[in-house]
């Protein structure tokens, strides 16, 4: 059985239009999506000391994610404010980051040994941990829209790199992929929203159209795509088949509010 660990961010995704709070964050989302695929999943990150931390941690536990090695800190939960337009596309209008940073202790290190992969990303403040994390298991990293200057410093520690470039041309996406591979990445993917995805892997270069979707909310779709793609590759599937399954999985995530549901009509306390 595959086993992954997501290390990094969790947030309150606050939808002020509807006054609903959803659990979210790239790392937290990825752990849930992996679990929903039948993969053993754990999450290591920072939980605050408020009702929102209880909501997020409770949602992860309900989904079957192991949070036993998370850090509980005396601080507010991290938060993003999310606006959804008529097409279902989301815009982040505010971000309150966590105050504390993840610390690798012996218990966490023992847990990571033998994992199928470790996932993190640009919003997780784990850049300084990647070299050590890559010694335990292959690392996947969500670069989102970060530029090449940011990426260049850490790509050597990353096996699976995912970039988001909705407006990039095919040539621009391929140039970015070639750059990532030249820095040591084995599997590089650029997602382009409704225009699909492009990947460079040891099998060659591939393109994947976006699967048809009834779009209600795109939040979490990128996390779903990369989690499903990586899981399928590690499980022995070919690149094209893995991209197709990832596209279909991401399309299903677009069909509901919040990255993985569990919305609550509660007032912010942060």
Q: pLDDT band for position 4 (50/70/90)?
A: very high
User: Closest by alpha carbon to 8, among 24, 32, 28, 35?
Assistant: 28
pLDDT in tens, 139-193: 999 999 999 999 999 999 999 999 999 999 999 999 999 999 999 999 999 999 9
What tokens appear for 60 in the block? 């992860």
User: Closest by alpha carbon to 80, among 261, 224, 258, 243?
Assistant: 258
Residue 85 is predicted with a pLDDT of: 84
pLDDT in tens, 198-249: 999 999 999 999 999 999 999 999 999 999 999 999 999 999 999 999 999 9
pLDDT in tens, 187-211: 999 999 999 999 999 999 999 999 9
Task: For the chain, give the mean pLDDT.
Answer: 95
Computed from CA positions of residues 245, 251, 255, 260, in that sequence, does the dihedral angle turn out positive or negative? Answer: positive
Q: pLDDT band for position 83 (50/70/90)?
A: confident
Q: Spell out the SS3 assignment of the chain.
A: CCEEEEECCCEEEEECCCCEEEEECHHHHHHHHHHHCCCEEEEECEECCCHHHHHHHHHHHHCCCECCCCEECCCCCCEEEEEECCCCCEEEEEEECCCCCCCCCHHHHHHHCCCCEEEEECCCCCHHHHHHHHHHCCEEEEEECCCHHHHHCCHHHCCEEEEECCCCCHHHHHHHHHHHHHCCCCEEEEECHHHCEEEEECCEEEEECCCCCCCCCCCCHHHHHHHHHHHHHHCCCCHHHHHHHHHHHHHHHCCCCCCCCCCECCCCCC
The length of the chain, given as a count of residues: 270
Question: How many Å apart are CA 78 and CA 152, to the nearest integer?
Answer: 27
256 has a pLDDT exceeding 80? yes
Distance of CA 116 to the CA centre of its chain: 16
Domains and CATH numbers, the chain: 3-93+110-253 (3.40.1190.20)
Question: How many Å apart are CA 255 and CA 82, to the nearest integer?
Answer: 16
270 has a pLDDT exceeding 50? no
């Amino acid at each position: 059985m595959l086993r992954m660990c997501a290390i990094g961010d969790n947030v309150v995704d606050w939808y002020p239009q509807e006054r609903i709070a959803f659990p979210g964050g790239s790392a937290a989302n990825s752990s849930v999506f992996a679990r929903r695929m039948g993969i053993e999943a754990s999450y290591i990150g920072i939980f605050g000391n408020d009702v929102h931390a209880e909501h997020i941690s409770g949602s992860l536990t309900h989904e079957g994610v192991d949070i036993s090695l998370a850090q509980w800190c005396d601080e507010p939960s991290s938060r993003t404010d999310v606006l959804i337009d008529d097409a279902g596309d989301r815009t982040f209008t505010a971000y309150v980051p966590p105050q504390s940073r993840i610390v690798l202790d012996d218990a966490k290190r023992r847990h990571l040994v033998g994992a199928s992969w470790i996932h993190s990303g640009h919003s997780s403040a784990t850049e300084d941990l990647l070299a050590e994390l890559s010694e335990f298991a292959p690392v996947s990293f969500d670069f989102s829209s970060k530029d090449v200057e940011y990426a260049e410093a850490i790509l050597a520690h990353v096996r699976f790199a995912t970039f988001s470039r909705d407006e990039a041309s095919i040539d621009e996406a391929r140039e970015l992929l070639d750059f990532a591979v030249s820095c040591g990445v084995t599997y590089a993917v650029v997602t382009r929203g409704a225009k699909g995805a492009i990947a460079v892997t040891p099998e060659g270069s591939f393109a994947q159209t976006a699967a048809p979707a009834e779009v209600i909310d795109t939040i979490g779709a990128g996390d779903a795509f990369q989690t499903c793609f990586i899981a399928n590759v590690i499980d022995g599937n070919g690149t094209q088949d893995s991209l197709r399954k990832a596209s279909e999985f991401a399309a299903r995530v677009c069909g509901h509010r919040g990255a993985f549901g569990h919305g609550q009509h509660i007032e912010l306390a942060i």
